[in-house]
């Protein structure tokens, strides 16, 4: 008859401890979120952070600066290629129209000027046709850069985003530990236990951050090497087509005139 009340009392005690543990866990999560949010505000507002913590990430920040440069220059390169293709097409169209106009005029002019107009029209039409041969390698380059941007850069950006989130959590934990250490009383078990828990949180977040930091550095290095290989191949192909164009038109790379071709056709 007496066992039931005792068991009931034991259950209440057990439930009470569970509730206390749950409350403690909720409080810890709230504190963790608070210090993480504080770290975000420090970063957003540009407030000065601990110089030793910042210095420890100097290599990582240099990698991130290089990554942002690659990201920006690839986007700009795509824009330049698109403009270049558009202008080559427009130039070829205008050049061809001028050539057709001169050809039409030469048919009604039997003088030496008519012969020169006919020769010039042939040179212009040939130049317009040959210049369009630059478009395929440019299109290929655009496709390769776009693929590089959508795959390699996007994948690295995903890792960088995860790393930045982990770094914020780590630095927030450091702020939390610094705050707890300032109020720490070594003779008080409760305060000491709280400090140990925060210290364990710092170790955990640092471990996660170090792993992602290493991943970012490796991916950025690979990204730089991949970009060099891609541009070397694409630009080499474009340069070969450009050299062939200049050779066919007998155009001087310095002067860019078509006088030799006009003389030849005349």
Contact yes or no for 88/131 (Cβ under 8 A): yes
Helices (H) and strands (E) in the chain, counts: 8, 0
Task: Please name which of 108, 135, 116 lies closest in space to residue 241, comparing C-alpha atoms.
Answer: 135
Q: What is the pLDDT of residue 42?
A: 64
CATH of region 64-265: 1.20.1270.60
C-alpha span between 127 and 261 (Å, rounded): 9
pTM surpassing 0.85? no
Identify the DSSP state of 46. Answer: T
The predicted-structure confidence for 39-81, as pLDDT tens digits, reads as follows 666 666 666 666 776 777 889 999 999 999 999 999 999 999 9
What is the sign of the dihedral through the CA atoms of 82, 259, 101 and 247?
Answer: negative
CA distance linking residue 127 with residue 92, whole number of Å? 8
**Cα–Cα distance, 195 to 214 (Å, whole number):** 28
3-state secondary structure of 19: helix
Band of the pLDDT at 174, cuts 50, 70, 90?
A: confident
CA distances from 15 to 5, 10, 21, 22 (A): 15, 9, 10, 10
Higher pLDDT, 123 or 228: 228
| Segments making up each domain of the chain, as ranges | 64-265
Closest CA to 29 of 173, 162, 171: 173
pLDDT at residue 153, as a whole number: 95
pLDDT value at residue 134:
87
Residue 95 has pLDDT above 60, yes or no: yes
- Mean of pLDDT over the chain: 78
* Mean pLDDT of all residues in 201-229: 92
19 vs 112, higher pLDDT: 112
Q: What is the pLDDT of residue 18?
A: 45
What was the pLDDT predicted at 263?
A: 52
């Amino acid at each position: 008859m007496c066992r039931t009340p005792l068991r009931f009392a034991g259950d209440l005690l057990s439930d009470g401890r569970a509730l206390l543990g749950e409350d403690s866990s909720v409080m810890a999560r709230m504190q963790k979120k608070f210090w993480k949010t504080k770290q975000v505000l420090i970063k957003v507002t540009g407030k000065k952070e601990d110089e030793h913590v910042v210095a420890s990430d100097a290599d990582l920040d240099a990698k991130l600066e290089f990554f942002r440069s690659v990201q920006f220059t690839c986007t700009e390169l795509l824009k330049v290629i698109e403009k270049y293709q558009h202008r080559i097409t427009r130039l070829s169209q205008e050049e061809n129209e001028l050539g057709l106009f001169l050809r039409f005029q030469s048919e009604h002019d039997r003088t030496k000027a008519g012969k020169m107009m006919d020769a010039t029209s042939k040179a212009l039409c040939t130049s317009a046709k040959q210049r369009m041969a630059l478009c395929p390698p440019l299109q290929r380059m655009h496709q390769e850069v776009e693929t590089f941007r959508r795959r390699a850069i996007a994948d690295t950006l995903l890792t960088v985003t995860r790393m930045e989130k982990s770094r914020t959590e780590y630095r927030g934990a450091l702020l939390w530990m610094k705050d707890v250490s300032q109020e720490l009383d070594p003779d008080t078990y409760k305060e000491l236990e709280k400090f140990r828990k925060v210290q364990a949180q710092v170790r955990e977040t640092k471990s996660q951050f170090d792993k992602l930091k290493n991943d970012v550095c490796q991916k950025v290095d690979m990204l730089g090497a991949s970009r060099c290989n891609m541009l070397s191949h694409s630009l080499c192909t474009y340069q070969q087509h450009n050299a062939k164009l200049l050779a066919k038109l007998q155009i001087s790379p310095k002067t860019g005139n078509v006088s030799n071709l006009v003389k030849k056709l005349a």
